[in-house]
Structure 1
Amino acid sequence: MCIATRQRLPDTQLLRVVADTQGCIIPDPGRRLPGRGAWITPDLAAYELAEKRRAFARALRLSAPVDTGQVREYISKTFEIVRKTEH
């Protein structure tokens, strides 16, 4: 289930993210990194919604503010480019 849109989608259509030891949220496209993971629809609209709702910290059970810059960068570079070439 996407932490932003709350849609139930297959895992293959979602991006897994995890928190590292410094509180940074990092993408886990291989779905292999240790720790609690959260799933998000890989588009910038879902990312912005998750940021607005503070869904990353809630889903990963973090009390401190989190840095999600790596997730935004990954989505921008990987998925938004793919969507542009599909149209």
Structure 2
Amino acid sequence: MTRPNFIKLTDDQVQARKRRNVAIALGLVGFIVLVFIVTVTNLQRNTEARKAAEAAAAATLERADPALPAPVTVEGAPVSGPTP
């Protein structure tokens, strides 16, 4: 069986390959950081929108029938309406 004939790279070619690999790795890490930042930003925006919607719903309940007891809010829990 004959051995394959491999190409011997010069030192300049090896250095160029290493620089290219580092550039690709940095680009990949940058993309991952960008996706993470966009995800966290969207989560924060959605959380704020949910809190605003819950506050608006609670205000609507209070205006609909002032005789109803005020909704009980617990940090992190949804606003509960009156129980029948």
Which of the five TM-score ranges fits, normalised by the shorter chain? under 0.3
Question: TM-score normalised to the size of structure 1?
Answer: 0.23
Larger proportion of strand: 1
- Higher-Rg structure is 2
